[in-house]
Amino acid sequence: ESIESGNFQWSAPSNIALVKYWGKKANQIPANPSVSFTLNNCKTITKLAFAKKQNTDNFSFDLFFEGKPKEDFKPKIQKFFERIEIYLPFLKDYHFTIDTQNTFPHSSGIASSASGMAALAMNLMSLEKALNPAMTEDYFYQKASLLARLGSGSACRSVKGQVVTWGQQRNIKRSSDLYGVEFPYNIHENFKNYQDTILLVDKGEKQVSSTVGHDLMHNHPFAERRFAQAHENLDKLIVIFENGNLEEFIKIVESEALTLHAMMMTSMPYFILMKPNTLEIINKIWKFRNETQIPVCFTLDAGANVHVLYPNKDKESVLQFIKDELVGYCQNGQYLCDEIGTGAMQL
Ligand code: PMV
């Protein structure tokens, strides 16, 4: 097939890890398996226009973010293209115009690399499929996830929903270090429409990029034990997803969040990415849970924001609690309501 020009448009959501990916080997191979909830509302929408060009020596692309040229993202895309060229040999044949926007506020401290890289990977796969129509849907999504991984590791978990695992794991069939896969077992109805309210505690620039963070797991005194623990926690979650035991779910999820931060606090150099308000919120959540027995818990990314996770049936009481007691700890009172979602979508 030969295609002169055209365009595609995809949205891809953010995701929140329950068992955290922290530490990697060469080529974005994770040091341990992870699992995440795909989100529904926080997403990137990317339009990719392409046109055949004469000179095929270099990559050629323009980048727009929220309608404006965005020069500072270009090196990241250039590096991404270099990494994936072996999988998409047509990349230098086209000039690309990448037009991208997020549904969540810019500089909210929410990482847009997962949704952004996933959305771009989906578009590139649409072109790949147009050029090679004989491809199964499974292959399409698997390769899209593989490409997204090469953009940003956790992005490979944003292609599909609702629960996605990435990284080879003894008890998960078809699991791979190369791409994320939909969780292949039954998921208990307790997790149906599971809620994630993201409290924006600190919207400042990250003190430590995830690239630097992953690197700090090399020669980290607790690395090997941590990687083994991630396997153990994933094993436990497999059982929990099937039996719906939220008490056990909470133990794993909160422990994983604190362990991620513990790894940062015990690396050299060391970092504290939580803010005082992060701890205030955690303590309030624990108090509320104790008093009400409502199974609400928290998780954290590599930053100060808090993801509040809870069952859909408790939505009303938890949102009231958030408004009454937690909003005061958010920067400008800002929080985002999200829930478990199904993955990337072509628009
Ligand atoms: O995808 P990266 O390289 O930005 O790493 C993200 C790592 C965490 O968000 C902290 C954990 C995870 O598994 O998503």
Mutate to test the pocket of ligand 1, among 20, 27, 152, 305 (most ligand atoms within 8 A of CB): 20
pLDDT value of position 174: 87
Alpha-carbon torsion (331, 257, 104, 102), positive or negative:
positive
Distance, CA 50 to ligand 1 centroid (Å)? 30
Which is the closest atom of ligand 1 to the Cα of 260?
Answer: 10
Alpha-carbon distance 218 to 278, whole Å? Answer: 27
Distance, CA 117 to ligand 1 centroid (Å)? 13
CB of 14 within 6 A of ligand 1: the answer is no
160 with 141: CB under 8 angstroms?
Answer: yes
Extract the tokens encoding 231.
């396997």
Which is the closest atom of ligand 1 to the Cα of 153?
Answer: 1
The H or E element spanning position 61 is: strand 60-65
Distance, CA 252 to ligand 1 centroid (Å)? 17
Extract the tokens encoding 268.
């050299």
Ordered structural domains, the chain, with CATH: 5-187 (3.30.230.10), 190-339 (3.30.70.890)
* DSSP symbol at 112: -
Distance, CA 58 to ligand 1 centroid (Å)? 30
How many Cβ atoms sit within 10 Å of the Cβ of residue 228?
Answer: 11
Residue nearest to atom 4 of ligand 1 (CA): 210
How many Cβ atoms sit within 10 Å of the Cβ of residue 289?
Answer: 17
pLDDT value of position 67: 93
CB of 100 within 6 A of ligand 1: the answer is no
Q: Which tens digits make up the pLDDT trace of 28-77?
A: 999 999 999 999 999 999 999 999 999 999 999 999 999 999 998 899 99
Distance, CA 339 to ligand 1 centroid (Å)? 19
Which is the closest atom of ligand 1 to the Cα of 28?
Answer: 3
Instruction: Give the chain's residues under pLDDT 50.
Output: none
User: 3-state DSSP: the chain helix, strand, coil percent, rounded to 5?
Assistant: 45, 25, 35
35 with 237: CB under 8 angstroms?
Answer: yes
CB of 305 within 6 A of ligand 1: the answer is no
Extract the tokens encoding 322.
């958030």
CB of 17 within 6 A of ligand 1: the answer is yes
Which is the closest atom of ligand 1 to the Cα of 24?
Answer: 3
Alpha-carbon distance 191 to 246, whole Å? Answer: 9
Tokens 């994936």: give the residue. 84
Distance, CA 10 to ligand 1 centroid (Å)? 22
Extract the tokens encoding 245.
């035991």
86 with 282: CB under 8 angstroms?
Answer: no
160 with 345: CB under 8 angstroms?
Answer: no
pLDDT more than 70, % of the chain: 97
- Closest to 216 (Cα-Cα) out of 34, 23, 27, 26: 23
Neighbouring residues of 2: CB distance < 8 A, sequence distance ≥ 6: none
CB of 210 within 6 A of ligand 1: the answer is yes
How many Cβ atoms sit within 10 Å of the Cβ of residue 101?
Answer: 18
14 with 42: CB under 8 angstroms?
Answer: yes
List, as one string, the DSSP characters of 195-234: EEEEE----SPPSS-HHHHHHTTTT-TTHHHHHHHHHHHH
